Structure 1
């Protein structure tokens, strides 16, 4: 086979009964995508509009939700097009881009969760130093690094993959994931080693830091008064739920990618759809319902006021 060109197409062979159920798939996934965009951006808008929420914790939450929007937009439009297409194919360059965005944004989310854990650690364990440590400039720098570091790490691997030779043109998936490496005739060992180093640096290390931070928070909370315990429970529980859900999905995805050929196609299809649907929908509902400061403004937006303000923007007169 010649070197890969822009005319090379990969067949996505992970769909199940697509001709029979394509309109059902399309409507369900389109609804999910609209809900993801609306729910995430609604919380982001609330955080941006209200001065009371212009604090480090809420800014980091807004960054997490924006990341979810980017993550979904990387997958859903192409997925919706494929449901209505005769052939489910993707060009090689676009596949590499989708693969790059998928893993870059996934690891950005993990780094954002680590920043959130650091914010909660400082707020609960070092409250007097919180204003000096978690300054606006510091938070902005951390957020930029959370997106920039994974992007740079995976850019190297993607750039090397561009000129690799393909021996297969069919992948058992509905979008490009790490199982795509099985299509190459030979995958350089140095890139595999680099991939392990990347996962360690921006995957395992942040996860260890998160576990350490919340362990310290738990220890401090147990030794403190009831007020501190209540604050810790109210602000940390939603983050722990999001982290637990995200970790399960990432672990599952990592396992399934390697054993996909041994599992029924229906099972792979259902679980893949859950991975790209549940987590982006899970985050805004957890943060909107479980964090009181955000929940208060969610109710303002969703429960119309009586009288002349029934259809006007529901922004409080005073914040």
Structure 2
């Protein structure tokens, strides 16, 4: 504790052999954090930039992924800083803020998953009323509730914890949580513990009861409809159900593990709670990016268009006309590639309709074109065309 400036500092004693594996921990953690940022940002960007995805289901997905970024930002930067620091310390106020942001992230995650379950329930069980019940204004209200009420709930818990008088200043954790902070107090913590139990009950059980009810009704409707209807319904529900189950498991680990200190090895007690800040933020965008066809197709389109330039070499007076962007001629080349017969030694063999399309390109550029065209292709380009051969 450093009282020189009337600031209380806590020492983070949860790190395992940090002096030996400091840089290894740093590289692994930084890699995970960058993956989380990239995966979530890509899906959010796709939803934001495609107006056809500005629908309630995709808006909820974007909000869920943004919440993941919010929660991980409260955890990873401080952890990375500790890995490179000689002393792993944090001020008491910063510790309380970190606990507030992480707990708010968890509570908002449950609220958002509940709102998404309601959206799926209405779309599958009451499709004729969907436009009436799930309006954009309704979505905005639900999102506000999913952010505001968890913040108020957790804010009250942190205020109660901050009023406790500390008599210990070594936190046996690598990040701050409310239960571990309360254990540092030498006073009565019964009020804080009871309110914490109330928060867990209020956050988890109503959400789980409603989600279970909604999925029971969804499965009932699926059993009464065609196989194709069941396939489409389960395709949209599976990512949500998988994410819900995984998040519940990791949340249980976070709640139970600190209360079992002394009964389980120290390494396990440190690693298990942070899994909730590693796997859900990483799994969420992957599940929604791969399992939902609309998002998956948009991501592939962006990666194809932005990932390379296609060189088109047009012979004219022994000079080569340079590079043409796929983005500029996207619609034309989509049609052109469908007419490709095969790729052999870097050259494309076209049918007459493809030849006509190429002549159209040349005329549009006001440049003559010979009867032959050489297509200089990269390995990635050839791979993308193999499906046509």
TM-score range, shorter chain: over 0.9
Give secondary structure in 1 for the equivalent of 2:75.
Answer: helix
- Comparing 301-310 and 20-29, the one that deviates more: 301-310
Matches within 5 A, 1:43-82: 43-82=43-82
1:109 corresponds in structure 2 to 109
The CA distance in 2 between the partners of 1:273 and 1:165, in whole Å, is: 27
The CA distance in 1 between the partners of 2:329 and 2:236, in whole Å, is: 26
Residue 202 of structure 1 and its aligned partner are, at CA, apart by 2.0
The alpha-carbon distance between structure 1 residues 202 and 185, as it changes in their structure 2 partners (threshold 3 A), is: same
Residue 239 of structure 1 and its aligned partner are, at CA, apart by 0.4
Contact residue 179 and residue 258 of structure 1 kept, 8 A: no
2:240 corresponds in structure 1 to 239
Matches within 5 A, 1:81-230: 81-177=81-177, 178-230=179-231
What TM-score do you get using the length of structure 2 for normalisation?
0.77
The alpha-carbon distance between structure 1 residues 309 and 207, as it changes in their structure 2 partners (threshold 3 A), is: farther
Indicate the RMSD between aligned Cα atoms, in angstroms: 2.2
Higher helix fraction (1 or 2): 1
Contact residue 166 and residue 184 of structure 1 kept, 8 A: yes
The alignment covers a number of residue pairs equal to 315
1:309 corresponds in structure 2 to 325
The CA distance in 2 between the partners of 1:171 and 1:290, in whole Å, is: 41
The CA distance in 2 between the partners of 1:25 and 1:218, in whole Å, is: 44
The CA distance in 2 between the partners of 1:91 and 1:294, in whole Å, is: 42
What TM-score do you get using the length of structure 1 for normalisation?
0.93
Superposed structure 1 runs of 4+ greater than 6 Å apart: 313-317
2:250 corresponds in structure 1 to 249
The CA distance in 1 between the partners of 2:68 and 2:329, in whole Å, is: 26
Higher strand fraction (1 or 2): 2
Runs of at least 5 residues in structure 2 that lack an aligned partner in the other structure? 311-323, 333-389
Query: Residue deviations 1:150-206, cap 9 Å, x none?
Result: 100111121222231012111221100132221111244333332222222222111
Residue 305 of structure 1 and its aligned partner are, at CA, apart by 6.3
Residue 314 of structure 1 and its aligned partner are, at CA, apart by 11
Higher relative contact order (CA 8 A, sep 6+): 1
Runs of at least 5 residues in structure 1 that lack an aligned partner in the other structure? none
Contact residue 165 and residue 184 of structure 1 kept, 8 A: yes
Give secondary structure in 2 for the equivalent of 1:262.
Answer: coil
2:264 corresponds in structure 1 to 263
Larger Rg belongs to: 2
